[in-house]
């Protein structure tokens, strides 16, 4: 039992490190101040393997480490990163846990993308005026022209990449005896 917990903790720690590396080297400016990074791919893989609470823990850990090391967005950016990552990864992991099939994975990832888009549209509307110092009217004008397309792109890329690499990643982790069958 102890060996299993140690393996899980080590594997989750390794996945957190990979997610952080994805932020540090994979950040791509998209529109305005919005940047895409593939960290959510790693976070959702952790959740698909170990469950939604693991996604939650990974999102918090990676966002906080990002905030104190390489981010210039401070506490607001950290909070927005956590909310975005959790809404996608925890939702996908929750639904995948109920239907562990290829079609279940597609449905779970689609639910994760839909949840992330809805949640981030609301949070951008609520937080951007405070966080960015923009008037609410300016933020409302950006919702459909910047935030929605960005979140569609981000969610679609994260879901697509996850779908393509999940099985090979899990197979490798199983071969290394880091996750159970």
76-84: average pLDDT? 96
Residue 175's pLDDT is what? 96
Single pTM value for the model: 0.94
**pLDDT score for 180:** 87
Asked whether residue 1 carries a pLDDT value surpassing 80, the answer given is: no
Query: What does the pLDDT average to over 63-75?
Result: 94
Q: DSSP character for 32?
A: T
39, 85 Cβ separation under 8 angstroms: yes
pLDDT at 2 over 70: no
> In sequence order, what are the residues at sequence separation of 6 or more whose Cβ sits closer than 8 angstroms to the Cβ of residue 113?
88, 152, 155, 156, 158, 159
What CATH class is the domain 2-175? mainly alpha
Does residue 131 or residue 116 have the better pLDDT? 116
Q: Could you write out the DSSP letters of every residue in 81-115? A: HHHHHHHHHHHHHHHHHH--SHHHHHHHHHHHHHH
Q: What percentage of the chain exceeds 70 in pLDDT?
A: 99
**Confidence tier at 181 by pLDDT (50, 70, 90):** confident
Domains of the chain, by residue range, sit at 2-175
Q: pLDDT by residue (tens digit) across 122-174?
A: 999 999 888 888 899 998 999 999 999 999 999 999 999 999 999 999 999 99
Q: Which of 89, 78, 75 has its CA nearest to residue 23?
A: 78
Average pLDDT over residues 12-31: 95
Segment 22-48 shows an average pLDDT of: 93
- Give the tokens for residue 176: 């290394």
* CB-CB contact of 73 with 34 (8 Å): no
CA dihedral of 78, 84, 85, 86, whole degrees rounded to 10: 100
């Amino acid at each position: 039992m102890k060996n299993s917990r140690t393996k899980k903790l080590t594997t989750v720690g390794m996945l957190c490190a990979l997610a952080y590396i994805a932020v540090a080297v994979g950040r791509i400016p998209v529109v305005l101040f919005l940047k895409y990074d593939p960290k959510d791919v790693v976070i959702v893989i952790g959740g698909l393997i170990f469950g939604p609470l693991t996604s939650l823990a990974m999102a918090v850990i990676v966002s906080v480490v990002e905030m104190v090391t390489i981010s210039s967005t401070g506490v607001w950016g950290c909070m927005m990163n956590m909310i975005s990552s959790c809404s996608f990864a925890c939702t996908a992991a929750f639904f995948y846990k109920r239907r562990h099939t290829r079609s279940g994975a597609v449905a779970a990832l689609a639910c994760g993308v839909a949840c992330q888009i809805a949640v981030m549209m609301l949070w951008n509307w609520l937080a951007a005026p405070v966080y960015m110092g923009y008037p609410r009217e300016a933020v409302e004008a950006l919702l459909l022209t910047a935030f929605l397309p960005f979140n569609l792109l981000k969610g679609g890329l994260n879901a697509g990449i996850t779908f393509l690499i999940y099985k090979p990643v899990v197979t490798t982790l199983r071969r290394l005896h880091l996750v159970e069958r």
